[in-house]
Chains A and B, each alone.
Chain A
Amino acid sequence: SQTIHQWPATLVQPVGSPLSLECTVEGTSNPNLYWYRQAAGRGLQLLFYSVGIGQISSEVPQNLSASRPQDRQFILSSKKLLLSDSGFYLCAWSTSTGGWYEQYFGPGTRLTVT
């Protein structure tokens, strides 16, 4: 069966510090991978998605970046965090074949920028 991992679960970082969040998927090959952010009491905002190693599409211009160094690894980074980067960060994966694309979410990382 497939599982998706994210770490850390919670993170408190000062403004201006760097960020690295990691997501890994097990039990599947060549998945589509996604990074979402959810502000408190709000819906999910798609930040990045990837259909393969080294292939990253950005949905929202901002101070965040994403990388996919391996097939089942997706990393979200920032060089300098802003207060507005606080939120619940969710990684998700979906199959890349078939008629439709249910997405499965990881447990999330709650980031507080102080």
Chain B
Amino acid sequence: GQNIDQPTEMTATEGAIVQINCTYQTSGFNGLFWYQQHAGEAPTFLSYNVLDGLEEKGRFSSFLSRSKGYSYLLLKELQMKDSASYLCAVTEAAGNKLTFGGGTRVLVKP
């Protein structure tokens, strides 16, 4: 089975940086996804990590350490539109299924 933990809520100021941590315990691990979900909307894909290290994509970066069962999503130069929930999800070795954490709600204040 899978157990995925991430903080429930975080608050940050516009223009700042926020780091959202995700820890996981899995019986089989293939990769880790980050999704963004605005209130009332469907999740949208942000990033995917399968190897250790940092993946950078514009203002967003995601890091993975397989040995530690740990990932983080880094949001830089925060904008008001970044206020959303951020979902960490892991795939098993078969790759067909995603198991999601509870999500981290990020509130960006002016």
Name A residues whose Cβ lies closer than 8 Å to a Cβ of B. 32, 34, 36, 41-46, 49, 51, 59, 90, 94, 99-108, 110
The 9 residue pairs across chains A and B that have the minimum distance between CB atoms: A105-B42, A43-B102, A44-B100, A43-B100, A101-B95, A43-B103, A108-B42, A102-B45, A105-B43
- 8 Å CB contacts to A: which residues of B85-108? 87, 89, 91, 95-103, 105
CB distance from B102 to the nearest CB of A (A): 4
Closest B residue to A101 using CB positions:
B95
- 8 Å CB contacts to A: which residues of B27-73? 30-31, 33, 40-45, 48, 50
24 pairs from A and B in contact (CB 8 Å cutoff)? A34-B97, A42-B102, A43-B87, A43-B100, A43-B103, A44-B87, A44-B100, A46-B97, A49-B97, A51-B96, A90-B42, A99-B50, A100-B30, A100-B50, A101-B91, A101-B95, A101-B96, A102-B45, A102-B48, A103-B45, A105-B43, A106-B42, A107-B42, A108-B41
Query: What A residues does B40 contact at CB under 8 A?
Result: 110
Interface size on B, residues (CB 8 A): 24
> CB within 8 A of A44: which of B31, B43, B44, B105?
B43
Query: Could you tell me the distance between the alpha carbons of A101 and B48 in the complex, rounded to whole angstroms?
Result: 9
Query: Could you tell me the distance between the alpha carbons of A105 and B40 in the complex, rounded to whole angstroms?
Result: 13
Query: Could you tell me the distance between the alpha carbons of A101 and B91 in the complex, rounded to whole angstroms?
Result: 9
Query: What A residues does B44 contact at CB under 8 A?
Result: 105
Given A41-B105, A42-B102, 10 additional A-B pairs, CB 8 A: A34-B97, A36-B100, A46-B98, A46-B99, A49-B96, A90-B42, A94-B96, A100-B30, A101-B95, A102-B33
Query: What A residues does B31 contact at CB under 8 A?
Result: 100
Query: What A residues does B95 contact at CB under 8 A?
Result: 100-101
Query: What B residues does A105 contact at CB under 8 A?
Result: 42-44
CB distance from A33 to the nearest CB of B (A): 10
